[in-house]
Amino acid sequence: MSILIRADRVSAGYGSEKIVDELSFHVKKGEMYGILGPNGCGKTTLLKTFTGSLKPFEGEIYVDGKSSGNYSANEMAQVTAVLPQHHEQSFSFTVKEVVAMGRYPYKKGLFTFTDEEDERVIGRVMEELNLIHYRNTPLNLLSGGEQQRVFLARALVQEPRLLLLDEPTNHLDLSYQVGLMTIIHRLVREEGLTVIAVLHDINLAAMYCDRILLLKEGRIHGEGEPCRMLTPERLSEVYDVPAATVPHPEVPVPLVTCRPFNAAGKRVPFFSFEEREDSLTVVSDTPLRTFRTGHGGEPFSWEKELPAGKGQRTEKQSSDWTLFMFQNEGILELTLIVNGSIQDSEAVSLSILLARSFPAISVYSIAGFPGEKKSINEDRLIQDAAGCLAMMKEEAKG
């Protein structure tokens, strides 16, 4: 895959203030490339250097092998289109008129009219973006998400090879965010469009971008595939928050969130055990992150009341955990309450370890508190589980 955009030691800013400093990277043709970072790190400034609207202090931007400074405005507009963060209010124009404005780079003279080729391109793009039924509707009567599709259509009728997106999903609800990014992703995959997107939503970037550039304070903090860039360690460094990730349930990318700033505080969560009819319930003043098998429904949940089990019961308690084993109508169930935080992946690994060690156990519940991470001594856990099982067998004999 050949290179469409190359930045060579680019520094840029406004007045005498340098915003981005010696950035070097490239973007391949037919690639969706995301630029992430906190407010003020230089994302939009960098985007402006690609179009030539902001001349770098130092370094060079090459577009399809040619220095951006050697393109005329019309030549650049035929190669590169921009979907900006803010739009002018075109209250007096219909949807089709706004879309047709994107054909301006192909016109000569002050007063221009659309020709047969313009009409063909405009019609094709409006059809692709499902805008035909709005063609005679004034732009100001559309919702924010529909307006953004109109502005995307205006950019696409330029027939660019490179589409620059400056926070395109800001102020859109979730359905419009996903809808817009899906359209753009399809254009990349099916038509070979190259996209550089400045994004605030890290999870959208993870799902749709082929590679990601992380910026902090105007410098590159990392570049690569989402699974390599969007790690808790990198994100915590870039955004100065305690970032956390879990695997996406449908695609092989991370889902990103953050831990509360007081998650590692010293307050000890309080929980108790309540006997309810013939069952035992764990009652906690702090939601327990819970992994359960054999109960139906989603395996992971947050629970302030966790049914631990019912029937014959044995238990082992320590400073690290409380472990219960239940037997009811021939079914063995194990419940482990960890006195600390446990990641979802660790809970799954522990259940697999226990299942291999004790094939007779068919139902598992493993829960922990948000906050300080707890290391699990697996050998000691196996010993405690074996002890519970032995006690249960002894009680059954008695």
Tokens read off for 18:
């340098």
Residue spans of the chain under pLDDT 70: 1, 86-91, 106-113, 260-270, 371-372, 398
* CATH numbers and ranges of domains, the chain: 3-258 (3.40.50.300), 271-397 (no CATH)
CA dist., res. 254 & res. 97, Å (int): 41
Query: Distances from the Cα of 106 to the Cαs of 78, 96, 114, 159, in angstroms?
Result: 8, 17, 10, 10
| pLDDT per position as a tens digit, 233-290 | 999 999 988 888 888 888 889 999 887 655 444 445 567 778 877 788 888 888 899 9
CA dist., res. 49 & res. 19, Å (int): 12
User: For the CA atoms of 244, 246, 248, 253, what is the dihedral angle to 10 degrees?
Assistant: 70
Specify the pLDDT at position 16: 86
Question: What pTM value is reported for the model?
Answer: 0.68
DSSP states of 307-353: EEEESEEEEEE-SSEEEEEEEETTEEEEEEEESSB--HHHHHHHHHH
Specify the pLDDT at position 283: 87
Specify the pLDDT at position 69: 82
Specify the pLDDT at position 265: 47
Helices (H), 157-289: 174-191, 202-208, 226-229, 232-239
